[in-house]
């Protein structure tokens, strides 16, 4: 299962998060993902975060396990090379992943003239084809107005979250779309053009979570409640040693375990009579959130993080500490070599650090170790020889004409 996509070849021309994440996800399950970029480097080649020497950690993170070719895509010869790779014969080939504009030589109708059963995944911004990115979409779907301090019904400045959630969901959805299209092709022999707008993913998820229905059925617009968990109980608390933890009680089991572990069952029960609520119901716990927090807060303030961890260990209490990225890396065993998803890899030009592989755990199989990201154009000669059967002489001529290049070491300041 870990290499179930072995034999699948995906040609990727992409930037930003969603499409490269799609390619990496397929590659982590065995697909041969070949990414093409301009010789000078594409949009992601120098994207932050970068090392002190200007090497892009972003590039290294989203291109793990892929092969890389560097091609002058402005030249007719370079365009022909990419076209030939996309439409190369073979049962598992003929798959193109992109979020570039699909017109002219990269248009679906143009490419399928060379291979009728072509599968093409086109990640776009808006359904009408106009540009959108995660951050312009997130501001459109309401979440910034319910993020940040609680404000009741008063106007509030929106607070953006920094996780590109729609990119992440779109990337994994795009991988699912390619797998589905490839299965369809095996059954019917037919290719497929798949258009996946980032905006459709965002608005669909808002609908899945009930936010659209809340407006149309209840006539209500969700308000920010700060760090409280909407519809159940969850809140942040400060500890005696200055750390912050979050505790959640969604299920009845979690609620009961929280009161028992903290020794506050009787005090919490008094809230029911005072406020006429039933705290076995998650909705009532949300209604009584301020009173519950008033009972819980002193308990947390009197204890250190270590003492809280020992108290909750082995119970059904659902909780966790707030962590900076540094604290996560240095303190959390889930983000360490103790987690078999991670391996310590040497990334040329960058150094040695923890790298995640696939999060899937298939029964009876060990996880596949992650593979490092390529240098720009590292596999140019290899790919052209292996797939297009070009000779050394032909490849040499293309290099001399600066149609192809690689490997290329890039930094924030330019090419070196």
Number of domains in the chain: 2
What pLDDT score does 266 carry?
Answer: 97
Any domain includes 399: yes
- Which pLDDT score, from 0 to 100, does residue 154 have? 64
What whole-number percentage of the chain has pLDDT above 90? 90
How do residues 368-386 score in pLDDT, each as one tens digit? 889 999 999 999 999 999 9
The H or E element that residue 344 is part of is strand 342-347
330 part of a folded domain: no
Instruction: Assess contact for 195 and 173: CB atoms under 8 A.
Output: no
Q: Which of 37, 44, 167, 284 is catalytic?
A: 167
> At a CB cut-off of 8 Å and minimum separation 6, what does 15 contact?
42, 43, 44, 99, 100
Q: Tell me if 380 is assigned to some domain.
A: yes
Question: Whole-angstrom Cα distance, residue 185 to residue 188?
Answer: 5
Residues 37, 136 within the same domain:
yes
**Model pLDDT, residue 416:** 43
Task: Give the largest CA-CA distance in the chain.
Answer: 87
In a domain, 376, yes or no: yes
Shared-domain flag, residues 61 and 116: yes
Q: Across the chain, what does the average pLDDT equal?
A: 95
Q: Answer yes or no: do 85 and 181 share one domain.
A: yes
Same domain, 172 and 306: no
* Same-domain check for residues 16 and 144: yes
Nearest to 19 by CA among 130, 173, 185: 173
Q: Which of 98-102, 164-168, 205-209 has the lowest mean pLDDT?
A: 98-102
What's the pLDDT tens digit per position in 109-146? 999 999 999 999 999 999 999 999 999 999 999 999 99
**CA dist 231 to 160, 254, 280, 284, 289, Å?**
22, 15, 13, 8, 10
CATH number of the domain to which 385 belongs? 3.40.50.10540
The reply to whether 220 falls in a domain is no
- Residue whose entry in the numeric block shows the structure tokens 């076995």: 280
| pLDDT at 414 > cutoff 60 | no
- Per the CB < 8 A criterion, the answer to whether 235 and 229 are in contact is yes
Residue 227 resides in a domain: no
> Is 37 designated active site?
no
Q: Which percentage of the chain shows pLDDT scores above 70?
A: 97
Q: What are phi and psi of 244, to 5 degrees?
A: -125, 135
- Tell me how far apart the alpha carbons of residues 26 and 393 are, in angstroms, rounded to a whole number: 33
Query: What average pLDDT does this structure show over 192-213?
Result: 97
Query: Do 82 and 166 lie in a common domain?
Result: yes
Per the structure block, which two tokens stand in for 127? Answer: 């359904």
375 and 349 Cβ atoms separated by less than 8 Å: yes
Range of the domain at 83: 9-205+344-415
**pLDDT tens per residue, range 12-61:** 999 999 999 999 999 999 999 999 999 999 999 999 999 999 999 999 99
pLDDT for residue 148: 85
Is it true that the peptide bond before 194 is cis, omega within 30 degrees of 0? no
* pLDDT confidence tier of residue 412, bands split at 50, 70 and 90: low
Q: Mark whether 290 and 368 lie in a shared domain.
A: no
At 415 the pLDDT is 45
Task: Report residue 388's pLDDT band, with 50, 70 and 90 as the boundaries.
Answer: very high
In a domain, 187, yes or no: yes
Whether residue 360 sits in one domain with residue 304: no
CA dist 117 and 185 (Å) reads 7
Q: Are residues 195 and 260 in the same domain?
A: no
d(CA 374, CA 66): 7
Q: Which residue, chain included where needed, has tokens 């506050």?
A: 264
Show the tokens assigned to 311.
């108290």
Q: What is the pLDDT of residue 152?
A: 63
Alpha carbons 203 and 190: distance in angstroms, whole number: 30
pTM over 0.85: yes
- 285 and 386 in a common domain: no
Please check the confidence at residue 319 and state whether its pLDDT lies above 70. Answer: yes
- Does the pLDDT of residue 413 top 70, yes or no? no
401 with 263, same domain?
no
Claim to verify: residue 271 and residue 152 sit in the same structural domain: no
Cα-atom radius of gyration of the chain, to the nearest Å? 26
75 falls within a domain: yes
Q: Is 249 helix (H, G, I), strand (E, B) or coil?
A: strand
């Amino acid at each position: 299962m870990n290499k179930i996509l072995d034999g699948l070849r995906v040609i990727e021309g992409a930037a930003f998060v969603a499409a490269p994440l799609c390619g990496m996800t397929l590659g982590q399950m065995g697909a041969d993902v070949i990414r093409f970029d301009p010789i000078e480097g594409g949009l992601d080649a120098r994207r932050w975060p970068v090392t002190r020497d200007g090497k892009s950690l972003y590039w290294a993170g989203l291109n793990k396990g892929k092969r890389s070719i560097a091609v002058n895509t402005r030249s007719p010869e370079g365009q022909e090379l990419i076209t030939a790779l996309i439409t190369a014969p073979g049962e598992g080939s003929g798959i193109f992943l992109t979020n570039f504009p699909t017109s002219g030589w990269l248009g679906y109708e143009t490419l399928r003239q060379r291979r009728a059963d072509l599968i093409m995944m086109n990640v776009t911004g808006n359904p009408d084809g106009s540009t959108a990115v995660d951050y312009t979409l997130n501001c459109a779907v309401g979440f910034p107005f319910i993020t940040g301090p609680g404000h009741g019904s008063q106007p509030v400045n929106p607070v953006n979250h920094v996780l590109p959630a729609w990119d992440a969901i779109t990337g994994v959805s795009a991988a699912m779309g390619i797998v589905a299209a490839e299965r369809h092709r095996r059954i019917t022999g037919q290719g497929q053009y798949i258009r996946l707008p980032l905006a459709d993913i965002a608005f669909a998820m808002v609908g899945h979570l009930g936010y659209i229905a809340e407006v149309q059925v209840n006539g209500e617009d969700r308000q920010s409640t700060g760090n409280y968990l909407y519809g159940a109980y969850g809140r942040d608390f400060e500890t005696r040693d200055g750390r912050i933890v979050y505790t959640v009680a969604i299920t009845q089991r979690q609620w009961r375990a929280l009161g028992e572990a903290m020794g506050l069952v009787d005090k919490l029960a008094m809230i029911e009579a005072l406020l006429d609520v039933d705290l076995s119901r998650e909705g009532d716990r949300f209604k009584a959130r301020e009173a519950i927090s008033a009972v819980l807060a002193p308990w947390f303030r009197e204890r250190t993080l270590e003492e809280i961890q020992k108290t909750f260990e082995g119970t059904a209490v659902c909780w966790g500490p707030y962590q900076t990225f540094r604290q996560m890396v240095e303190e959390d065993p889930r983000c360490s070599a103790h987690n078999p998803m991670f391996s310590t890899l040497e990334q040329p030009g960058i150094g040695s650090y923890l790298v995640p592989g696939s999060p899937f755990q298939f029964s009876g199989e060990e996880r596949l170790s992650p593979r490092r990201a390529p240098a720009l154009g590292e596999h140019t000669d290899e790919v052209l020889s292996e797939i297009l059967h070009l000779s050394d002489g032909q490849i040499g001529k293309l290099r001399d004409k600066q149609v192809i290049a690689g490997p290329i070491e890039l930094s924030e300041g330019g090419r070196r």
